[in-house]
Amino acid sequence: MKERNKQIYLIGVLIALVALGFVLPRGARSLLVQVMILSIFAMGYDVSLGFTNQCSLGHSVLFGAGAYAILLPILHLKAGLIVSVLFCLGGGIVFSLVTGVIAVRLSEAYFVIVTAIFSAIFHLLAVDLTWLTGGDDGLSATLPALDLGFAKWSLYDPLVNYFFALFFLVVGYLVLRRIAHSPLGKIFLAIRENEKRAEYLGYHVTRYKLIAFVISGVFTALGGGLYALSLRYTTADFFSLYWSIIPIVWCLIGGLGTLIGPCLGVLLMSLFQYYVSAWWTYYLIIFGVLILFILRVSKGGIVGFVMSRSKG
Amino acid sequence: MTSQTPILQLAGVTRNFGGLQALKDVSLRIEQGDLRGIIGPNGAGKTTLFNVITGEFKPSSGKVYLRGEDISGLPPYTICRKGLSRTFQLTRIFPEMTVYDSIWAGANSKASHPWNPVSSARHLKHIEKETLDICKLIGLEEKKDELAVNLSYGDQKVLEIAMALSTKPSVLLLDEPTQGVGGKEVDMIVEVVKKLSEKMTIVLIEHTIDVVMQVCKTVTVLTEGHVFAEGTPQEISANKEVQRVYLGEEI
């Protein structure tokens, strides 16, 4: 019954999102596009921190890799959109495998430090390798049309852009939700709850942590790629530590391990950045206080708060 | 009986921690169906013995055999998959998971595709059945939807055993299952151990001598990392040396 309620809400949200695409004014619509894209990143990060308790500071590497993996094929190979999205997913797999293989075997604090070091190294590399990345100036690209064979759409049409992002958000959510409810998802939770015990139940914990890290990495890269597409631009700055810390904030205020929560976190933070920053430059101070307040009231973030209310 | 391969055997196992020798040349033979009690004063190396058998530590020298197969130095998850499971002295449970899900996690590890990312976990009937069977066997049926963290300490100890059972072990190592548990719950746990011993080989570390004498078929006394005496409970309690070094302090 409760599960059904949740489904009804989600379908309601989906219908609202579709409707909003048509009725919102231009500025608000492009804000919502950003929220949807960053939500994919946030959900991906949730797989790492929320599902398996791996507090990575290296996700900026995956975010940046995704951004470049999508634009570079467009720039240099004249690749179509679908191909470049595949490059982006592949880039996510490769980068999360390479960093994950080293990082996931480390225990908590060392994991955090090593992933932060990855972030620093790749940021420096990206700034330095200007022939490839454009450095701080970045690269801009002219996007090819989305060619599905039977139809051709231009992403420069704001409506197409909107539904392009919505499509990936919905698919991404469904895939991750499926995983969360599958045996694999249950193993992730067991590892989050007590790694040692999970190992003594017969699970190769390091391997499962790597699987979680790669799934997380793929969605992070997708988020980065779509973000770059929406800006038609990518910069070395996408590798900076900012993009490693911000998803932690999203997940914490929204509710760890809930998938929906991190999306709410993105929404809240983006609204703040967009509206409050207009009248006060130091809006982050208010936001910081807000985070403290939310976590003081409910350790499970917004979703945790709603769940505990609906139960009691 | 001695001609048969023992289900669990230790041959000259030594384990050093720096200069400290926690286990000195320990040899044990545990036959199929045995319920072996391991007793000894604090620091005798009982838990270290479990840690070496289950793969937490590698033996510094010596071998551990499970059904004649050398398992020394294998990682814990491999040893678990070979049918050797354990509980922990200080409970290691999944606090924010329900009793059902905790046991489910163990039952799933022996499924053909434990890492299945596609099916809904709720729809895997055979794992559901195994999980419910264990809940019933161990007496946690009514509490199966409670979060582990909300259980009484005694029930958490039982859940520990249930989780160890969920991987379908042929040898079960129990590390002080009644420690810190109140009177009535001790009886409950003793009943559970007795019931399980009909189905599998059990090695039990226990501080309460009454419990050991009551349930165990054979007893090994460990002091300062080596095997001091071995025999039936009657032989051990009649052994003057054992009384002097160990039982004497207790009685």
pLDDT value of residue B247: 56
Please tell me the predicted confidence (pLDDT) of residue A223.
98
Mutate to test the interface with B, among A181, A191, A192, A201 (most CBs of B within 10 A): A201
| Residue A173: predicted pLDDT | 97
Which tokens sit at A98? Answer: 């390479």
A274 contacts: CB under 8 Å, gap ≥ 6:
A31
The pLDDT score that the predictor gives to residue B209 is 82
- Whole-complex ipTM: 0.92
Helix (H) or strand (E) run with residue B204 in it: strand B201-205
The pLDDT of residue A29: 95
DSSP assignment of A22-68 equals HHS-HHHHHHHHHHHHHHHHHHHHHIIIIIH----S-HHHHHHHHHH
Partner-chain contact B119 A182, CB within 8 Å: yes
Query: What is the distance, to the nearest Å, from the Cα of residue B3 to the centroid of all Cα atoms in its chain?
Result: 25
Enter the CATH code of domain B1-83+170-187+197-251. 3.40.50.300
Q: What tens digit of pLDDT does each residue of B97-155 get?
A: 999 999 999 999 988 889 999 888 888 999 999 999 999 998 899 999 999 999 999 89
Q: Encode pLDDT of B73-85 as tens digits.
A: 999 999 999 999 9
Which bin fits B73, alpha (ψ -120 to 50), beta or left (φ > 0)?
left
Which string of DSSP letters, residue by residue, matches B19-75?
Answer: TEEEEEEEEEEE-TT-EEEEE-STTSSHHHHHHHHHTSS--SEEEEEETTEE-TT--
Residue A303 lies in a domain: no
Most A-contacting residue of B57, B108, B161, B172 (CB-CB within 10 A), to test interface? B108
Interchain pair A208, B115: CB under 8 A: yes
- Is there a contact between B117 and A186 if contact means CB atoms under 8 Å apart? no
Tokens representing residue A230 in the block: 């929406």
Tokens of A215: 């799934």
Which of A189, A197, A311 to mutate to test binding with chain B, by most B CBs within 10 Å of its CB? A197
> Exposed, middle or buried: residue B95 (CB in 10 Å: 0-12, 13-18, 19+)?
middle
Where in chain B are the domains?
1-83+170-187+197-251, 94-168
Is A155 part of any domain?
Answer: yes
* Whole-number pLDDT of residue B130: 94
Whether the CB of A174 is below 8 Å from some CB of chain B: the reply is no
User: B166, A201: Cβ pair inside 8 Å?
Assistant: yes
Inform me whether the C-beta atom of residue A177 falls under 8 Å from chain B C-beta atoms: no
Residue B189: C-alpha distances to residues A67, B58, B204 (Å):
57, 31, 12
Residue-wise pLDDT tens for chain A (312 aa)?
577 888 899 999 999 999 999 999 999 999 999 999 999 999 999 999 999 999 999 999 999 999 999 999 999 999 999 999 999 999 999 999 999 999 999 988 999 999 999 999 999 999 999 999 998 999 999 999 888 888 888 999 999 999 999 999 999 999 999 999 999 999 999 999 999 999 999 999 999 999 999 999 999 999 999 999 999 999 999 999 999 999 999 999 999 999 999 999 999 999 988 888 888 888 888 888 988 999 999 888 999 998 888 765
- Contact call for residues B69 and B82 (beta carbons, < 8 A): yes
Q: Check: CB of residue A201 under 8 Å from CB of residue B78.
A: no
Q: What is the pTM of this model?
A: 0.93
Place of tokens 């042929």: B170
Contact of A262 with A268, CB cutoff 8 Å: no
Residue A223 sits in which domain range? 30-240
Strands B69-70 and B61-66, sheet pairing: antiparallel
Phi, psi for residue B85 in degrees, rounded to 5:
-130, 160
Q: Taking CB atoms and an 8 Å cutoff, what residues of chain B touch A182? A: 116-121
Q: Tokens 């264990």 label which residue?
A: B134
Our CA-based measurement puts residue B46 at a distance from the nearest CA of chain A, in whole angstroms, of: 18
The answer to whether residues A190 and A197 touch, using CB atoms and an 8 Å cutoff, is yes
Residues of B in contact with A189 (CB under 8 A): 94, 97, 101, 105
The values of phi and psi at residue B230, to 5°, are: -150, 145
Burial class (CB in 10 A: 0-12, 13-18, 19+), B103: buried
pLDDT of residue A114: 97
Cβ atoms within 10 A of the Cβ of A276, count?
A: 15
Q: Which two tokens stand for residue A112?
A: 């955090």
In a domain, A101, yes or no: yes
Q: Residue B3: is its pLDDT beyond 80? A: no
Number of domains in chain A: 1
A182 with B109: Cβ contact below 8 A: no
Mean pLDDT calculated for residue range B42-58: 93
Identify the residue with better confidence: B1 or B199.
B199
